[in-house]
Chain A
Amino acid sequence: MIFQANAFQELLAVLDYWDRLLSGFILTMWMYIWALLFGFILGLFLAILRVYGGFAFSKISSGYIEIIRGTPLLAQLFFIFFLPYTLNISPNIMVLETSFYLFNKEITLKLLDYPIFVGIFALILNSGAYQAEYIRGAIVSVGTGQLEAAQSIGMSRLSSIRHIVLPQALRRVIPAWSNEAAYLPKYTVLVYFIGGVEELFSQADFVQHKTFFPLTTYIVVALMFLITITLISKFLEFIHTRTSIPGL
């Protein structure tokens, strides 16, 4: 300890870097939203393939899901990051930057460049696999009877999946999906390992190096995550109760 400061002073010192924390938070949320949305699309695709795809496709789908779920996200992240270089392709991602002023401080946000893209991409692939499992469980819980009934009135297989099974399955998956959606922000911190991404955790690293108060810094960041996740969770609960149908 270079000099002793009480907790309140530490907090102020950390909060002095609020602009950094804010830009980190925005980037985290930015990555999270993309990963969630596209992860959902991927998951839906994989789940349908797994349940309705016929032997070959369902094996491919379940193989993908098992591999992604059975390996650490970190390893996947590294693997994807270095893949282009291994294949001797030089990755060129369009860089997207923006900045704005808030309370006399300029806040710059780098919204897209190679590491950010890799991070989002890896999260999509990973979250997609987990979401696929939840959606698959929901589809299975709807039961084959529904599909049979739909087909017996003449609907094509594709049509019955789309109009009968999926609406029910998607409503049933909401509790489990809310779980995944609420906790996904936590996983964005992994991009810290590939460097060059200034999301909340990496900003925390920067801030604690400047302030020499690691404990306070990380606690502040932890609280930010906690509050965000709780809010997302409550929001989803609210939506769930508002759109529920008796019996589903």
Chain B
Amino acid sequence: MLFQNLGLGIISSVLIFPVTIYIIRWYSKRKNFPSNQLWDTSFKTAIKSSLIWLIMNIFIAILFSFLIEDIAIYFLIHVSVCLICNIIVGIIIVQNFYRKRIRESFNFVFIIQLFLFGVSFLFGFIFAIVDGLIFPQISNALFFILEFGLRYTLFITVLSLFFGFVLGLTLAIMRVYGGKELYWLGSAYEKIFRGIPLLVLIFIFAFGFPGLFWYLKPFDRLLASVILALGIRSGAYQSQIFRGAILSINPGQMEAAQSLGMNKIQSFRHIVLPQALRIAIPSWSNEFAVVIKDSSFAGAIGTFEMTFAAYIWGFRSVELFTLSMGVVAVLYFLFTFPVTHVLGERQTRNLKKLGMGGS
């Protein structure tokens, strides 16, 4: 029991990272620290490296969730790996930016990371103890849900998003640069798959085409059909996002690229696409949140994922049900909130600074 709660403490410490960064940043701004280059840019470096760390966090989470069964060991190793990677990445970033002031900036980054980790670990530990002694059910529910469903939720989300990304980008290109027929085709696709409830789509693929994915095990077939349905639907929404982003780029950019002698493909790939992708990030982070929440429907057809796990766990008694639903809701929230906020508002501000916030 203590071990499990230790793990829980580590979870919360890991998730507290972005929050503490925000607090420190806000605090230093309020105190009006002298904005000589060292402070300001070191801060940005620390934040950038933490952001990269967050992304790596997600990848490592997915990777390890498939390799390691015991949830507590999983999180222990997870956190250690992340911390080490973070420091390494931070050092690399700092070395690339400040060739002269390496040692100072490195010390600064290191101290910040240590400080943040210490604060969050302390916080997490206290929480774990309180929880272990006072609310054991929460941690039980939490561990069951995570152990049972996290890997599937992440798997479904990532694959569907990727599928939707490829599909959406292709459709967007079709609609913007294709002829009338391709435009109409992309448009029809979008209208159809935005107008059908996701659940209906899942059921169509899962039960309507029993022969689909014949080469997979029966359980995996359900998973695959969910991913297919989610991917197709996400593709429809993402095509809208990318189309808007591409259109918002000044046509003058394309002209300038062509006047250098680039053909249409080159100008798109090197000039329009990089800018369009950056512009699309805030809306895309929203789509990420939507997909991860919609993965909760997968449980409807019997694939395990977090909500379904919560459902099973809570089924034993009614009081437990509300509790487990609350817990899983918090889990989803922890996944969506940092992403949409970090990639949403801050990115819009950064874009404006680069002068790329739309035409």
Known: A71-B333, A86-B322. 14 other contacts (CB 8 A): A67-B333, A69-B336, A70-B336, A71-B293, A71-B330, A75-B296, A75-B307, A75-B332, A76-B329, A78-B325, A189-B200, A218-B208, A222-B200, A229-B195
A142 in the interface, Cβ–Cβ < 8 Å? no
- Which residues of chain B have a CB within 8 Å of any CB of chain A? 191-192, 194-201, 203-204, 207-209, 289, 293-294, 296-297, 300, 307, 310-311, 314, 318-319, 321-323, 325-326, 328-330, 332-333, 336-337, 340
Inter-subunit contact A72/B332 (CB<8 Å) = yes
Question: Could you list 20 A-B pairs, sorted by A, with CB under 8 Å?
Answer: A71-B330, A74-B297, A75-B329, A78-B322, A79-B326, A82-B314, A82-B318, A183-B195, A186-B198, A187-B197, A189-B199, A214-B203, A214-B207, A214-B208, A215-B208, A219-B204, A225-B195, A225-B200, A226-B192, A230-B195
Does A83 reach chain B (CB closer than 8 Å)?
A: yes
Across the interface, name the chain A residue whose C-beta is closest to B308: A74
> Please, which residues of chain A bring their CB within 8 A of the CB of B325?
75, 78-79, 82
Task: Tell me, rounded to whole Å, the shortest Cβ–Cβ distance linking B197 to chain A.
Answer: 4
**Interface on A for B, CB 8 Å cutoff?**
66-67, 69-76, 78-79, 82-83, 85-86, 183, 185-187, 189-190, 192-193, 201, 204, 208, 214-215, 218-219, 221-222, 225-226, 229-230
Q: Are A70 and B333 in contact (CB under 8 A)?
A: yes
A190 contacts across to B, CB distance below 8 A? 199
- The distance in angstroms between the C-alpha atoms of A187 and B199, with both chains bound, is 9
Closest Cβ of chain A to B336, distance in Å, is 4
A76 to chain B, nearest CB (A): 7
- What's the nearest-Cβ distance from chain A to residue B195, in Å? 4
> Considering the chains assembled together, what is the distance between the CA atoms of A124 and B16 in angstroms?
31
Q: Is the CB of B208 within 8 A of A70?
A: no
| Other-chain contact of A225, B197, B209, B297, B332 (Cβ < 8 Å) | B197
Kindly provide the distance from the CB of A173 to the nearest chain B CB, expressed in whole angstroms: 18
| Most chain B Cβ neighbours within 10 Å, of A86, A201, A219, A229 | A86
By beta carbon, the residue of chain A nearest B300 is A193
Q: Are B207 and A208 in contact (CB under 8 A)?
A: yes
Write out the residue numbers on chain B whose beta carbons fall within 8 Å of the beta carbon of A67. Answer: 329, 333
* Shortest beta-carbon distance from B193 to chain A in Å: 9
Complex CA gap A221/B318 in Å reads 33
For the complex, give the distance between the alpha carbons of A186 and B199 in Å.
Answer: 9
Q: Are B191 and A183 in contact (CB under 8 A)?
A: no
The answer to whether B196 and A222 touch across the interface, beta carbons within 8 angstroms, is yes
Chain B residue nearest to A192 (CB atoms) is B199
Q: How far is the CA of A75 from the CA of B198 in the complex (A)?
A: 16
- Chain A min CB distance to B251 (Å): 24
Verify A72–B200 contact, CB threshold 8 A. no
Asked if residues B307 and A70 are in contact (CB atoms below 8 Å), the reply is: no
CA A170 to CA B341, docked complex, whole Å? 26
The chain A residue with its CB closest to the CB of B203 is A218
B235 to chain A, nearest CB (A): 16
Q: Which residues of chain B are near A78, meaning CB under 8 Å?
A: 310-311, 321-322, 325
B204 pairs with A71, CB closer than 8 A: no
Q: Do residues B329 and A201 form an inter-chain contact, with CB atoms below 8 A?
A: no
Which residue from B191, B204, B307 sits with its C-beta under 8 Å from A72?
Answer: B307
